[in-house]
């Protein structure tokens, strides 16, 4: 990668997360699942980076590792140049102000026994805001930012629709003014009309609060709409990484192309020839072959074969093996 003048906001370095499988007592066929197998990613200030892939590709595990909810097997995660995992990690209070998460399921992401007010006030108190007037101001302010009314604070989650709950989830994630927002499939559980409103809200908030987003998604339409850069993950590894325009206008890796080709999109009916995957697949760079070459079901228990990310145009990488 190119040298950067300053450290990136978030830097994931050679992240591995392995899970032991079949670890029965005295069992012989203990195996290791390579959920995340060597992920390198960086996030610049104010950027929206999306990680796309299908279930089991390791995108959610990567997100959990960044959030400190999943212990990595090896590798490092740095925030503004300082490690946030392992021995020199900041305490949980400092960590809470680095990154917060918006969850997929708006029905499971709010405590059904707590009012909105409590869900928002408790983290504030925990982080040293004790004056009642200040808490009130902060909550009113954050609710207004997510287009809810202050009187909504007194209600319980079941009194809200899915879209409103997602707004509350976003408000909770923003209440401590974190630098990074981790969006885990933020709109995939929502209806089309509500989905559009939440996407608009997230884009507005990003501009207004100069937030940085990491978005986990399988919905390429949403990803193209919101992202600055896109990482495509396949069985624990990034197979293609680049600016959104490069990924969607010039998808190169066979898996990315398959993903884009299989998205059911109304526009393929209107303009079948316009879809990028309608054209011939590009060749791998000179002296390399794509890795993996064919999209099938690799053995997730074996350590992946050595391969590298090759830069095919500025900032656009694909995973390949040297011939």
Q: Which residues within the stretch 84-123 sit at the binding site for another protein (CB under 8 A)? A: 92-93, 95-96, 99-101, 103-105, 108-114, 119, 122-123
Site for another protein in 287-306 (CB under 8 A): 295
Continuous H helices in the chain = 59-67, 92-96, 116-126, 132-145, 162-174, 192-209, 220-226, 244-249, 254-262, 266-270
Instruction: Work out whether 26 is an interface residue with another protein (CB under 8 A).
Output: no
Q: Nearest to residue 171, comparing CAs of 133, 209, 225, 223?
A: 209
What is the contact mask toward another protein in residues 119 to 148, using x (rule: CB under 8 A)? x--xx--xx---------------------
- Tokens representing 141 are 């302010």
Nearer to another protein, 266 or 314 (CB): 266
User: Minimum CB separation from another protein for residue 96, in Å?
Assistant: 4
Instruction: Work out whether 285 is an interface residue with another protein (CB under 8 A).
Output: no
Site for another protein in 28-57 (CB under 8 A): 54-55
Instruction: Work out whether 244 is an interface residue with another protein (CB under 8 A).
Output: yes
Among 18, 152, 167, 172, binds another protein (CB under 8 A): 172
Among 221, 282, 285, 304, binds another protein (CB under 8 A): 221
Among 38, 72, 75, 169, binds another protein (CB under 8 A): 169
- Tokens representing 216 are 């986990």
Q: Cα(102)–Cα(166) distance, rounded to whole angstroms?
A: 8
Instruction: Work out whether 281 is an interface residue with another protein (CB under 8 A).
Output: no
Which of 3-11, 12-20, 193-201, 283-291 is the region at the interface with another protein (rule: CB under 8 A)?
193-201
Nearer to another protein, 124 or 318 (CB): 124
Any idea which residue has 């879809």 for tokens?
A: 275
Query: 3-state SS of the chain: helix, strand, coil percent to 5?
Result: 35, 25, 40
Separation of CA 126 from chain center: 26
Site for another protein in 251-270 (CB under 8 A): 258-270
Nearer to another protein, 138 or 258 (CB): 258
264 CB-contact burial (10 Å; exposed 0-12 / middle 13-18 / buried 19+): exposed
SS3 165: helix
User: Minimum CB separation from another protein for residue 254, in Å?
Assistant: 12
Q: Which residues contact 153 (CB under 8 A, 6 or more apart)?
A: 115, 116, 117, 120, 139, 140, 143
């Amino acid at each position: 990668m190119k040298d950067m003048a300053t450290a990136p906001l978030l830097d994931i370095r050679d992240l591995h997360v392995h899970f032991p499988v079949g670890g029965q007592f005295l069992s012989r066929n203990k195996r290791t699942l390579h959920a995340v197998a060597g992920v390198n990613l960086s996030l610049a200030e104010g950027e929206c980076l999306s990680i796309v892939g299908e279930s089991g590709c390791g995108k959610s595990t990567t997100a959990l590792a960044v959030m400190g909810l999943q212990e990595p097997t090896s590798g490092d995660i740095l925030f503004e140049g300082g490690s946030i995992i392992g021995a020199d990690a900041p305490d949980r209070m400092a960590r809470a102000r680095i990154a917060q998460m918006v969850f997929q399921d708006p029905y499971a992401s709010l405590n059904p026994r707590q009012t909105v007010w409590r869900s928002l006030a408790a983290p504030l108190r925990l982080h040293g805001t004790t004056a009642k007037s200040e808490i009130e101001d902060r909550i009113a302010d954050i609710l207004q930012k997510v287009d809810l009314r202050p009187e909504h604070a007194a209600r319980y989650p079941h009194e809200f629709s899915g879209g409103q709950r997602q707004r509350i989830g976003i408000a909770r994630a923003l209440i401590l003014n974190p630098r990074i927002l981790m969006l885990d499939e933020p709109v995939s559980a929502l209806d089309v009309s509500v989905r559009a409103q939440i996407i608009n809200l997230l884009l507005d908030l990003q501009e207004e609060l100069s937030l940085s987003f990491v978005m986990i998604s399988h919905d390429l339409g949403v990803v193209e709409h919101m992202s600055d850069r896109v990482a495509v993950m396949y069985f624990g590894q990034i197979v293609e990484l680049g600016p959104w325009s490069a990924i969607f206008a010039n998808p190169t890796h066979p898996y990315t192309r398959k993903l884009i080709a299989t998205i059911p999109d109304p526009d393929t009916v209107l303009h079948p020839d316009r879809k990028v995957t309608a054209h011939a697949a590009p060749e791998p760079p000179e002296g390399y072959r794509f890795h993996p070459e064919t999209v099938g079901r690799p053995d997730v228990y074996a350590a992946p074969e050595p391969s590298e990310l090759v830069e095919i145009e500025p900032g656009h990488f694909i995973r390949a093996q040297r011939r």
